[in-house]
């Protein structure tokens, strides 16, 4: 029997469907199940989320983003009824590959953890999971839990690294797969790949490039862990930088530099 992995992610209509498709296309045989969490993090509301995004993007970009999001949502609904080219929801991709679903309100809940134990998992993979993993779930799979982050750790820990690398004028970014602990974007680095930032890159293109890289790294990580080829490098906390969700002023600074969101 090969390595048994489990994916914990969130619903998304923009970037994660293609990410999941890449992983399942190559490693479906290893995936024992999936949990799809709500898009919002605990204590977030749609009102506060929309307010934060309006402040960041400004009215024009906010309307463009909203139209794009609504269109993708509509396509996700349509694709659940008729066959359409492309991938529009995480749930739709998981259904396409016949991955078993396991629902939960909390990844740290007793009943959910008992369910995962019965699956005899070797690995849990976090892909933009919207809940924090506590010690019990981190210790549950034989090899531990891994996460994919859209930046070159230990720098740019935290939220929306695709924005911050542009706002800070970086020449490159990347994706990192690392073992998880209870700290944010911490734990030894398993794989990492650099992605150049081009003059015409936008936040959207940075996300797309780092997601594509991250998906390939997850496939590679499963291969290596299945073969027992586990080597890591330090995720040096002394070199770490942390970022939260950007403000209106941060968004203005990005636009003044000639950068765009879309």
Q: Return averaged pLDDT per consecutive 10 residues of the chain, 262 residues in all.
A: 93 94 97 91 83 92 91 86 82 95 95 97 96 96 98 97 96 98 95 97 97 98 93 95 96 93 92
**What is the CB-side half-sphere exposure of residue 194 using CA atoms within 13 A?**
6
Is residue 261 domain-resident? no
Q: What distance in Å separates the CA atoms of residue 185 and residue 194, rounded to the nearest whole number?
A: 17
The answer as to whether 57 is a domain residue is yes
- Domain range enclosing 191: 5-256
Alpha-carbon span 147 to 9, nearest angstrom: 10
Count up the domains in the chain and report the number.
1
- CATH number for the domain spanning 39: value is 3.40.50.170
Measured distance CA(171)–CA(198) in Å, rounded: 8
Length of the chain, in residues: 262
Q: Provide the pLDDT for residue 1.
A: 64
In a domain, 222, yes or no: yes
pLDDT of residue 17: 95
Model confidence pLDDT, tens digit, residues 28-51: 999 999 999 987 777 778 898 899
For residue 225, give the nearest of 1, 49, 5 by alpha carbon: 5
Residue 169 within any structural domain of the chain? yes
């Amino acid at each position: 029997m090969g390595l048994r992995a489990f994916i914990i992610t969130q619903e998304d209509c923009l970037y994660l469907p293609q990410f999941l498709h890449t992983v399942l296309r190559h490693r479906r045989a290893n995936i024992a199940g999936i949990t799809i969490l709500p898009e919002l993090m605990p204590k977030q509301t749609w009102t506060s989320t929309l307010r934060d995004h309006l402040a960041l993007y400004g009215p024009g970009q906010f309307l463009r983003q909203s139209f794009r999001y609504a269109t993708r949502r509509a396509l996700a609904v349509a694709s659940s009824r008729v066959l359409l080219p492309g991938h529009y929801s995480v749930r739709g991709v998981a259904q396409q590959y016949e991955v078993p679903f396991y629902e939960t309100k909390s990844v740290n809940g007793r009943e959910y953890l008992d369910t995962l134990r019965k699956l005899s998992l070797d690995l849990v993979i976090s892909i933009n999971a919207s809940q924090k993993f506590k010690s019990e779930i981190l210790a549950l799979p034989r090899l531990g839990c891994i996460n994919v982050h859209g930046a070159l750790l230990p720098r740019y820990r935290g939220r929306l690294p695709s924005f911050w690398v542009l706002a800070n004028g970086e020449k490159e970014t990347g994706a990192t797969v690392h073992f998880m602990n209870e700290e944010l974007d911490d734990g030894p680095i398993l794989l990492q790949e650099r992605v150049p930032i081009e003059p015409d890159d936008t936040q959207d293109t940075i996300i797309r490039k780092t997601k594509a890289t991250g998906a390939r790294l997850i496939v590679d990580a499963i291969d290596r862990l299945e073969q027992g080829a586990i080597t890591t490098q330090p995720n040096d906390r002394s070199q770490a930088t942390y970022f939260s969700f950007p403000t209106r002023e941060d968004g203005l600074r990005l636009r003044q530099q000639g950068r765009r969101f879309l």
